[in-house]
Structure formats: structure tokens, C-alpha cells
Amino acid sequence: MLVNGTPYRSVWLDGSIVKLIDQRLLPHQFAILDCPTYQETADAIRSMAVRGAGAIGVAAGFAIAQAALKAPEATLQQEVGRAATLTRATRPTARDLFYAVDQIARTIHHAHTPAEARRAAVETAHRLADENAQAGEAIGVAGEPLVPPHARVLTHCNAGWLAFADWGSALAPIYRAHRLGKQPLVYATETRPRGQGAKLTAWELGQEGVAYTLIADTAAGWLFQHGELDCVIVGADRIAANGDTANKIGTYPLAVLAQRHGVPFYVAAPRSTFDDATPSGEAIPIEQRSEEELLWAVGRSESGITQRVRVSADSAHAKNPAFDVTPAALIRGFITDGGMIAPTQEAIAMLLHPTMARLP
Ligand code: MRU
């Protein structure tokens, strides 16, 4: 996608350096963060310099490739093991992160020489990044017909290209509809406490010239009651085998509202987000983040200085679960890189294992 007219991916590998758009600084500053070691890449994931399920998967893959590139030959397998452990411990919910680490660690494990391991690791990490970008584009193709001309679409958090290598999940059908001249209007939730909607989705849509209106998270019910929404499209961090879906905290109440008001609620995600080893939503690990994110806010002052300010009583404490689970029953359909599928165990199994599912 374009940033001031120049095409970018959210994260990439340049030699042995992972480079990423530092999302902590957006929308006020556009800067590239260099991570020369896998430890620094893991730290960028933990601190949310790079965030979004797809993007942290791609970054995690590059972290393992970095470990393979930099490790001494004699201890390459052990160093890759250490990198995998460190990277897996950064954020627990997004399935794409574990998917990428597993794929690359397996490739390295099967290599016969250190040189082969390094080559395979880098190739696999680049392939996963490309597949992630292509999946976003395919989701756009599959989901665009759900966006009628002048559709008013509600989305939550940031499931756009910043959250992937490129294109995004929830925003991909919107980008495609926009390019086809359908003139969609996006209602973007602010997404407290970190404000991914206000800071990132708004910035992304602005860069692409898509019309959008920001709403407070608490204003969604008002929009549903006043008939101002044609559909809801959100992303996903992990989808269990039965279709229960973990996404940014605040997604579940939107799904309840959508059902109450008869508005279709779609989840957009690539195959790498589906986790058939997790039977249902109850088994999805939910990240609990620091209370600091609620008690304080970061923004730019009128004089242009980025500041952290206290937005709660000095005595306040907070609970800060980062994700919630929307039951499959509230989801109209999954928009995937393999096309639209029903939110059922059978449809998910068929998506992930098309040949096995056809066996008698
Ligand atoms: O900002 P994060 O990494 O905590 O949020 C994760 C997400 O990106 C969203 O939940 C999003 O909807 C998932 S789709 C990439």
C-alpha cells in the first residue's frame, strides 16, 4: 500500500536486518525501525512497534530467519530454538505468530547443513511474508461483493495493511470496493485503550483516500439503532476449530449488536489465522495487557509534542484484556483467502484440509 505515494510493506527483511513501520509513532510520525537482531525483533513485537495478527506473524518469521543467519554454525540449532522460545513468548493470542515460528523452525530442523538451514530459513520467511500479502489481496476479492455501492461498513481496531504484510483482512474488501469506484464509507471505532482505530485505521484509510468517520467505541449501538450500518467486517487473531473467533477487545459486543439489529457480521482472516488444534473459543489464550494502557494515553499536543498524559484518577487501577471471543453463532461468514465460508466446523476443516475433507 502507499504511504505518501510510495509503496510499503509493514515489515520486511533487508539482509539480516528486520525493518518495520514503527506503529507506536503513527499517525503523527512515519518512521522505520531497524531490528538488527532477533532479540530486537522480538522486542518490537512485544512493545507493539509492529502489531496486528498478520504482521506479527511475518515479523516472527523474520526473527527466526535472523537467528539462523547470525548464529555460529556449531550452535545454530540451539540458537534457533532459543529464538523460537523468545518469539513465542512475546504475544499469546494471534495464531499467525505461532504458525510462522513453527513453519520456519521445522524447515531449519530438517536442513542437513548450517548453510542449507540459513538459506531455507530466509526463503521460508520471505515466502510467508509474500503469502500473507497475497492472502490479504485474495480476501479483498472474496469480500468485495459483500460491500454494495455506497455501503456503510463498521470495522473495529486495525485489520488493514499495517496489521499484515500488505492489504489487510477486514479492510481488504473495502480497499477493493473503493478501487472499483463503489465509494464505501467506513465507520472506524476508536478502539480503546490503545486507539488502533483512531490512530492506525484512520491513518491507513486516509492514505488510500477511503472515506471514513471515527466513532467512540460506545457509539456503535447508536449507529445500529439509527440504521446507519449495512454490514460489519472485522479481522481475527485466532479462529478455533468450531469458528469461535478471538479479536480485539470490544468485537463481541459489536457482534451481539449486529445480531440484534439484523446487520450481517463478517470476520475476514487468512487460513494462517485458523487454528484447528484449538477446539473452541474457551481454549484460546487471551493476552492481558498492562493497566498503564488504560490509565494513560499518548497523543500529540497542540504545539506538536508527543506526550503521555494521565486520563484516569490517580487512585485508579484497571483490568485490560486485549481480546474477546465472538461465538461462531454470531458470525454470518468468514471471508478468507480460500473464498467465503460458513462459520462451521465442517467448512473450516474443508478450508484447512481440502483433500482430507473429501475422503469418505
Ligand atoms: O493491535 P493488536 O495487535 O493488539 O490487535 C490485533 C489485531 O490486529 C486486531 O485484533 C485485528 O482485528 C486482527 S486482524 C489483523
- Domains (range + CATH), the chain: 2-137 (1.20.120.420), 140-357 (3.40.50.10470)
User: Which ligand 1 atom sits nearest the alpha carbon of residue 234?
Assistant: 12
Q: Taking the alpha carbons of 288, 199, 95, 78 in that order, is the dihedral positive or negative?
A: negative
pLDDT digits (tens, 9 = 90+) for 60-75: 999 999 999 999 999 9
Q: Taking the alpha carbons of 323, 327, 331, 334 in that order, is the dihedral positive or negative?
A: positive
Sheet order of strands, 17-21 included: 11-14, 17-21, 32-35
Mutation to probe ligand 1, out of 156, 190, 247 (largest number of atoms < 8 A from CB): 247
Mutation to probe ligand 1, out of 196, 232, 272 (largest number of atoms < 8 A from CB): 196
Pocket lining: 247 vs ligand 1, CB cutoff 6 Å: yes
Distance from Cα 238 to the centre of ligand 1, integer Å:
10
Distance from Cα 71 to the centre of ligand 1, integer Å:
31
Do residues 62 and 129 make contact, with C-beta atoms less than 8 angstroms apart?
A: yes
pTM above the 0.85 mark?
yes
Scanning the structure block, which residue is given the C-alpha cell 469506484? 181
User: Which ligand 1 atom sits nearest the alpha carbon of residue 52?
Assistant: 8
Mutation to probe ligand 1, out of 48, 99, 157 (largest number of atoms < 8 A from CB): 157
Catalytic residue among 96, 237, 324, 337: 237
Q: Taking the alpha carbons of 173, 176, 180, 184 in that order, is the dihedral positive or negative?
A: positive
**How many whole angstroms separate alpha carbon 310 and alpha carbon 315?**
11
Pocket lining: 53 vs ligand 1, CB cutoff 6 Å: yes
Q: What phi and psi, each to the nearest 5 degrees, are found at residue 270?
A: -80, 165
For residue 307, give the nearest of 295, 298, 320, 318 by alpha carbon. Answer: 298
Distance from Cα 115 to the centre of ligand 1, integer Å:
35
Q: Tell me the CA distances in angstroms from 35 to 142, 217, 352, one per residue in order.
A: 35, 34, 33
Distance from Cα 72 to the centre of ligand 1, integer Å:
35
pLDDT (tens digit, 0 to 9) for every residue of the chain, 360 residues total?
A: 889 889 999 999 999 999 999 999 999 999 999 999 999 999 999 999 999 999 999 999 999 999 999 999 999 999 999 999 999 999 999 999 999 999 999 999 899 999 999 999 999 999 999 999 999 999 999 999 999 999 999 999 999 999 999 999 999 999 999 999 999 999 999 999 999 999 999 999 999 999 999 999 999 999 999 999 999 999 999 999 999 999 999 999 999 999 999 999 999 999 999 999 999 999 999 999 999 999 999 999 999 999 999 999 999 999 999 999 999 999 999 999 999 999 999 999 999 999 875 555
Q: What is the chain's mean pLDDT, rounded?
A: 96
User: Which ligand 1 atom sits nearest the alpha carbon of residue 246?
Assistant: 10
Distance from Cα 224 to the centre of ligand 1, integer Å:
23
- 276 flagged as catalytic: no
